Structure 1
Amino acid sequence: MRLVFAGTPAVTIPALDAIAASGHDLVAVVTRPDAPAGRGRRVVRSPAGAWADERGIEVLTPARPREPEFQARLRELEPDCVPVVAYGALVPKDALGIPTHGWINLHFSLLPAWRGAAPVQHAVLHGDTVTGASVFQLEEGMDTGPVYGTLTEEIKPTDTSGDLLERLAVSGAGLLVAVLDGIESGAARAEPQPADGVSLAPKITVEDAEVRWHEPAFAVDRRVRACAPAPGAWTTFRGERMKLGPVRPVRYGPEVPPGQLLVEKERVLVGSATDPVALGEVRPAGKKAMSALDWARGARVSSESFA
């Protein structure tokens, strides 16, 4: 089939590689406009756009998919289908109708669970043990279209969102190409999503990433892992924000009040509503990441608490 791909962040690259290696013809990539990134705030191409540039594939960067100029160019390209992975913009009905087979979205959850922008983060945050990926027909509703196919993925006890998303991006790429193959052959059939089991996964904000030390240790652990690598879990120490890497709940450890720090010979503990947690890597404001023990010794932490 003749394809135009829509996607933006690095998680799209496995799908792009899989499509490039398939028998389909990728004629263009639609991605979000170039944007400032990094400390220097230099304007850069999205990872999907950069991938296309390297291969001489046309890149379209509409501010919004409703733009007449974008839709006119999409019609000129005459795509049979537009596969989508993490594009990052709502697609209006008139644009959805341009490709012969519409827009087909790879979403990183088992729909109708975790519809929205952050399905992997919410699966980790809420303690799910299994998640997956779904390929569905994009429509005007938020991740509500009929589903062509799914796969499942175990969530390991130490998985961060980054770990899980990396695995799903690879396995999901294979699923996406298999669905595209099925659409081309006429074998693929999309089934409506069930009415039960709907849950929403809005974007995780910086405020959501603040650790709540009054929660149980398992909830602290989940929040930190859910926010890794972005936006990054954080707490407040001596009036400044400090980023936290994954922590480890310590069963049968000493009793430590919520938020209270306890520096031991080989570990740094923080109290929660239940067991304490052992800090892993930390990043104080304005400094590089370091081990919690090195930080505590350098900061001369005594009987202090995180806010």
Structure 2
Amino acid sequence: MRVIFAGTPAVTLPALEALANSSHELVAVVTRPDAPAGRGRRLVRSPAGAWADERGIEVLTPAKPREPEFQERLRELAPDCAPVVAYGALVPPSALEIPKHGWVNLHFSLLPAWRGAAPVQHAVLHGDEVTGASVFELEAGLDTGPVYGTLTEDIRPTDTSGDLLDRLAVSGAGLLVAVLDAIEAGTAVAHPQPADGVSFAPKLTVDDAAIRWSDPSFAVDRRIRACTPAPGAWTTFRGERVKLGPVRPVANAPQLAAGDLVVERTQVLVGTATTPVVLGEVRAAGKKPMSATDWARGTRIQSGERFE
């Protein structure tokens, strides 16, 4: 089939590679417009767009997919199907109707669970033990279309959202190509999503990433892992924001008041509502990431100091 791929961030690259190695003809990539990045705020191509540029594949960057010029170019390219992975914009009905077999979206959850922009982060945040990926027919509703196929993935106790998303991006790429193969063969069947089990996964904000030391240790652990690598879990120390990497809950340790810091020879403990956690990586404002023990030595933490 002739396919047009829609996607933006680096998580789309396994799917693009799988498509490039499949029997389908990738005729164009649709991605979000170039965006300012870095200290110089220079316009930078999205990872999906840069991947296509390197291979001489046409890149389309509409500000909004409803633009008449964009939709006219889609009609000229005459795609049979449009696979989507993390595109980042709503596709209007007028564009959905252009490909013969519609648009099919690879979503990183077992629908109807965790519809929305951050399914992997919410699965980690809420302590799910199993998640997965779904390929479904894109329609006007938010991740509501009938599902062609799914796969499951265990969530490991130490998984960050980045770890889990990396695995799902690879396994999901194979699922996406398998669905496209079935659509081409005429054997694909899309099943309506059940009415029960619906949950939503809005994008996690910087405020969501603030660590709540008054939570139990398991909740502190989940929040930090869910916000790693983005938007980045943080707390406040001496009036300045400090970013933290994943922590390790400690079962056999004396209880500390929420946020209290205790520096030991080989580790730094922080109090929660239950048992303490051991700090991992710390990144103070304007500094490079470092181990918690190095941070504590350099900061010269005094007895009684704490995270706010």
TM-score normalised by length of structure 1 = 0.99
Letter of the 1:57 counterpart: I
Q: Which residue is 1:285 aligned to?
A: 285
- The match for 2:74 is 74
Per the alignment, residue 306 of structure 1 pairs with 307
RMSD between aligned alpha carbons?
A: 0.5
Q: Quick one: distance in 2 between partners of 1:18 and 1:40?
A: 34
Q: Distance in 2 between matches of 1:130 and 1:113?
A: 11
**Residue type of the partner of 1:117?**
A
CA distance in 1, matches of 2:62, 2:217: 45
* Residues 180-259 of structure 1: pairs in structure 2 closer than 5 A: 180-259=180-259
Correspondence for 1:103: 103
What is the CA-CA distance between 1:254 and the residue it aligns to? 1.5
Could you tell me how far 1:263 is from its partner in structure 2? 0.6
The list of structure 1 runs, each at least 4 consecutive aligned residues, that deviate by more than 4 angstroms after superposition, is none
Q: Which amino acid aligns with 1:290?
A: M
Q: Does 1:40 align with 2:64?
A: no
2:56 counterpart of 1:56: yes
1:61-114 CA distance string (max 9 Å, x none): 000000000000000000000000000000100000000011000000000000
Tell me the equivalent position of 2:264: 264
| CA distance in structure 2 between the partners assigned to 1:40 and 1:135 by the alignment | 38
Unaligned stretches of 5+ residues in structure 2: none
| Local SS of the residue matching 1:26 | strand
Q: Matched residue pairs, number?
A: 307
Moved more, 113-122 or 288-297: 288-297
Partners of 1:118 and 1:8 in 2: how far apart? 15
Could you say which residue in structure 2 is the equivalent of 1:30?
30
Post-superposition CA distance 1:147-193 (Å, at most 9, x none): 00000000000000000000000000000000000000000000000
Please state how far the C-alpha of 1:42 moved relative to its aligned partner. 1.7
| Paired amino acid for 1:305 | R
Find the residue that maps to 1:296 and give its secondary structure. Answer: helix
Shift of 1:39: 2.8
Deviations along 1:239-264, one digit per CA (max 9) or x if unpaired, are 00000000000002112100000111
TM-score, normalized by length of structure 2?
0.99
Taking the aligned partners of 1:100 and 1:277, their CA distance within structure 2 comes to 54
Amino acid at match of 1:271: G
Q: Secondary structure at the match of 2:236?
A: strand
| Residues in 2 aligned to 1:225 and 1:38: alpha-carbon distance in whole angstroms | 25
SS class of match (1:184) = helix
Letter in 2 for 1:207: D
Q: Any idea what SS the aligned residue of 1:144 has?
A: coil
Shifted more, 150-159 versus 247-256: the winner is 247-256
The whole-number CA distance in structure 1 between the counterparts of 2:233 and 2:93 is 37
Q: Is 1:119 paired with 2:119? A: yes
Superimposed CA distance per residue, residues 178-230 of structure 1 (whole angstroms, 9 cap, x where no aligned partner): 00000000000000000000000000000000000000000000000000001
Other structure's SS at 1:91 match: coil
C-alpha separation between the residues in 2 aligned to 1:300 and 1:188? 62
1:108-144 Cα shifts (integer Å, max 9, x gaps): 0000000000000000000000000000000000000
Q: Distance in 2 between matches of 1:38 and 1:135?
A: 34
